[in-house]
Amino acid sequence: MKKHNFSAGPAILPASVIREAAKGVANYEGIGLSLLEVSHRGPEFTAIIEEATALMQELMELPEGYKVIWLTGGASTQFFMAPMNLLDAGETAAYVDTGTWASKAIKEAKGFGNIQVLASSKEQNYNYIPKGYKIPKDAKYLHLTSNNTIFGTQLHKFPKSPIPIVCDMSSDFLSRPLDVSPFGLIYAGAQKNLGPAGVTVVIVREDLLGKVSRYLPSMLDYRTFIKEHSLYNTPPVFPIYVSMLTLRWLKKLGGTKVMQRRNKAKAALLYREIDDNPLFQGTALKQDRSLMNVCFVMAPGYESLEKEFLKETEANGLVGLKGHRSVGGFRASIYNAMPKQGVQALVNLMRDFANRKA
């Protein structure tokens, strides 16, 4: 049975990338060694990380002065590493609270300066993106979370900011074209749209660094990894390799503009079924619905069917659809690598289930 992976992360990867990565694990480029055992300072991996960085610069259309570094620790480490590098004691940074990960970022940042929460959607269980807040010009940066995996909301348009934006883009990274110039720092865990868990991408405007007075441990100083081309210590070799293969795949398809069109079409197909099907309803406000994580529940009066529907999804090869405990119901994560056929398979099951149960 063909399985469609709707997991929120670690998530689906392109099938061609998995096949190529498997070959590299067995015997990388015919050298008689697995990629898992080559030196991170040898010519094989040097070529991989250089290509991965160059592809990232190309696909993101990075202006002069922006650096790409490959780190570990996930986006959660960036919750404190970003303010540690950018925010001096006594200075203020502005944050917008749009969900669990934004809330955790706020908590970690409070250890490094004054944190001003400009807006929050917590009172509505994070089912919308706050708008219309005033951004203080004297803050060092504005921190945003572009997509909220748990609650299924997404920033479809970034606010005009008088200060650099720092953004957690883990779950919609490379899913659409982006003007990087308003951003001082972008970070993303790879395990949604880029590669396997274990590597985190950071894109940083280099002129913002070196301004804090605190001591920065070498492993927590962005400048260390810029200077050493992400090779200060042993990097996560395999996740970077798979990320490079995914970047190749994305470039071959036509880049982020093509990916945006595909993602919009997939999301429209699923949201249309949610809105038209009497058994289901969405949880996020329509104008803020995520194109990456589609969250929905059983409609009023049909709540008792939730477990039955989930059981049928699994029986039909549709895996990873159980919603986060904060929201309940279902969550279909339809990242870049999810083909439209996978979304159509879910829609077909929803229609069939409604025909039998409504």
Tokens representing 149 are 């995996």
Residues with catalytic function = 101, 168, 192
In DSSP terms, which residues pair with 96 in a beta bridge?
A: 119
Show the 3-state SS of 308-322: HHHHHHHHCCEECCE
Of the candidates 327, 261, 276, the residue with the CA atom closest to the CA atom of residue 125: 327
In sequence order, what DSSP letters do the residues of 54-119 get, joined into one string? HHHHHHTTPPTTEEEEEESSHHHHHHHHHHHHH--TT-EEEEEE-SHHHHHHHHHHTTTSEEEEEE
Scored b (16 or more CB within 10 A) or e, 145-175 reads bbbbbbbbbbbeeebebebbbbbbbbbbbbb
SS3 call for 186 = strand
